[in-house]
Structure 1
């Protein structure tokens, strides 16, 4: 394997995504040749360097795993939680290899979540360049109107300064609440909640019903399944792998 940056190396080892690797480095949990890594640009030579995470040696995985979880509410989309809340790792204790989440869902959001140890695929599926579609259904306070949907479609400035946008469909009304569907092609932190709040309709229930064309059909919250070879191939084609 050619020399690569430490964050990519950790993703190839199935430890975490590249973004997650940056967080591990910031937390000083990564050691190379018995020295704590404090720079994200460190280059790793697999034939020369010994890399450890939390004291355990890691190396690139040969067998790639791809799984789809129906993430329940009140579960963290991380592999570790300092407050000992339940994480998605709890559902995969018997897998042959460790897998990490592709992107994230909020603690109180349920729905489609993909996990893998394929760092290259995970990176591309979360990169804005590839415009991977994500569909959410939300329950919002108030009777949502089309002018609000048009504002969200045009784009709204988010907390991080970026512009978020989505296509919105009104599915129905219940008392003074509205059931809506939003389609996004980027996945910024809490984007759906921010967009709806900005137009005056706070979200009180959120579910991701589709990610890259995949759904939780046939699964109950907390259940998961392996992706088929066809599904994996379609994901790779979607992001030009």
Structure 2
């Protein structure tokens, strides 16, 4: 379903949450983008609660990073709605969003891969420019958000992994998703953010680095969305 609203200017976390809730209501439940959107909405609502309760450190820094982060995802949604090409990291999710052989867990983790592997690095740089600070000044907030995402990823795997435990060993989904790690993605993202910040006065190199990062994350996302056969219980 086409979304007409656009997210082109900085806004507070409440505005970001409202936009994702609108997407959740508009998109079909089985749609791959809807699956990721529900995951991301839960993360953003959790961050918002922590900011409101003062449990996420420097609120100004946390809000800047969280909103700049969300802008990247919502801009990709708008690009597709306007029949423009989204960043390469997001293309697999939009291309396979209705594929019957791709499972909900794959959609969720492919979206997390795009958002963490590419968008978060650029969001750190965006936030540094907004706050007039260095990436090191955002490291504590980066780590806190990362810890929250790690907890959420565990819950996602538990809720969306199909079949009883005995079948999970034989399920090709188990082996496919075992090749991707949120912790490794976060570590690579922090290195990428620092590299992009160091390259900010060399725009041609920064652009090339960003394009290569985008393509690499998109390739990983395409692998995560490999259509898989269902595993049947042969013990019956």
**TM-score, normalised with respect to structure 1:** 0.29
Which one has the largest radius of gyration? 1
Q: Which has the higher contact order (CA 8 A, sep 6+)?
A: 2
Structure 2 length-normalised TM: 0.29
* Structure with more of its chain in helix, by fraction: 2
User: Structure 1 or 2: larger strand share?
Assistant: 1
